[in-house]
Structure 1
Amino acid sequence: ATERRFSEFLAREITPRFPDGLTVVDASGQWRDPATRRTSREATKLVLLVTPAEESSAAPTREVRIAAIVDAYKRRFRQKSVLVLTREACARF
């Protein structure tokens, strides 16, 4: 994804679902397609989200919002796989 296309994706898909803030980091990634066993290497973006452990039951859960972002990313950028890592942490701002 070009910087412009990713910025548009960030503004349309990620920020509305996580408006309290996030961090984007440029990185290099690789992934092996299990069907073809070919390894793809490409520039990538890491999106770091820090969210409260408990959220309002009226809002979509964190997992639902992340799944919607992943689905949108796969469609928009024609990706077969998107890594999501969720872990508990202690954070303070």
Structure 2
Amino acid sequence: MERLTFTYAGGRPATRNAKATLAGVVGSGNLEVLVEPVAQDGAMTIEVTTAAVGFGRIWQAVMDDFFARHRLGDLRISINDVGATPAVVSLRLDQAIETYLGGGQ
């Protein structure tokens, strides 16, 4: 297992009620994403635990794209992965944020 952490500063507060949101299920070729409100001075922290070791640069690119599109802050996102493709990771992240924000931004 590999653990990666990405932190992005300068996000806008993700306003919603203060409940964590879980999207997805860890299973063969899939992943789960947990979104939690955490005061971080506008930062977003993404922690990835993955069985696919050695793909840090790809994870970095997917997380950079996600933050560029959403620019949210005061969130901690935890990802548990068992080998999902980058496209599935991106889709699951979008699904988790949309659910967290109550159906849209």
Which category describes the TM-score, using the shorter chain as reference length? 0.3 to 0.5
Q: TM-score, normalised by structure 2?
A: 0.30
Q: Which has the higher contact order (CA 8 A, sep 6+)?
A: 2
Q: Which is strand-richer, 1 or 2?
A: 2
